[in-house]
Amino acid sequence: MSDYLDPNNEELLKDFFAEAQAQVETLEQSVLVLENDPGNRDAVDEIFRAAHTLKGGAATVEMTELAQFTHLVEDVLDGIRSGKAAVGEALIDVLLASIDTIKAMLDARAGGSVFREDIQGLRDRLASFLPAAPGKAEPP
């Protein structure tokens, strides 16, 4: 592995935080577009790409909590892209809450700590928008 890809490399971390900030801004802007135009496929694709990029970057710098949480957000977005989840007020609310949590995770890491708040309720809300797995009952 190159020295640059070492998760403790300050240059890599600096690049990661700059990229993460750009992806969070894209997430916010695109969710607001989606709120006003629920059928906007371009906004869904932008949100998905931003979440995917953020997830990959977080995994590269071993920010596991961020990578795992963003993976769940990405799964929900994939459900929207595939037509298995509908965009509505509840989904927009959970996406905005997820962005706030992503920001808090990034702030914690930028401050030298790890985000440790209990977000199981938010995870459950996100998971409620996931398509049911084969053999699993659809949520009410």
pLDDT tens-digit readout, 4-31: 445 557 888 899 999 999 999 999 999 9
Round to whole Å and give the CA distance between 81 and 43.
10
**pLDDT at residue 8, rounded to an integer:** 59
3: which DSSP letter?
Answer: G
- Contact (Cβ atoms closer than 8 angstroms) between residue 92 and residue 35: yes
Has residue 109 got a pLDDT over 70? yes
How far, rounded to the nearest angstrom, does the alpha carbon of residue 98 sit from its chain's CA centroid?
7
pLDDT band at 133 (very low <50, low <70, confident <90, very high): low
Task: Give the mean pLDDT of the chain.
Answer: 88
Whether residue 40 is predicted with pLDDT greater than 80 in this model: the reply is yes
Q: Is the pLDDT of residue 123 over 60?
A: yes
pLDDT at 13: 87
Q: Which residues contact 2 (CB under 8 A, 6 or more apart)?
A: none
Average of pLDDT values for 104-114? 94
- What mean pLDDT comes out for the span 49-75? 95
What is the model's pTM?
A: 0.87
The residue among 88, 72, 61 whose CA lies nearest residue 130 is 72
Q: In this model, does residue 126 exceed pLDDT 50?
A: yes
pLDDT of residue 10: 80
Retrieve residue 18's tokens: 């700059």
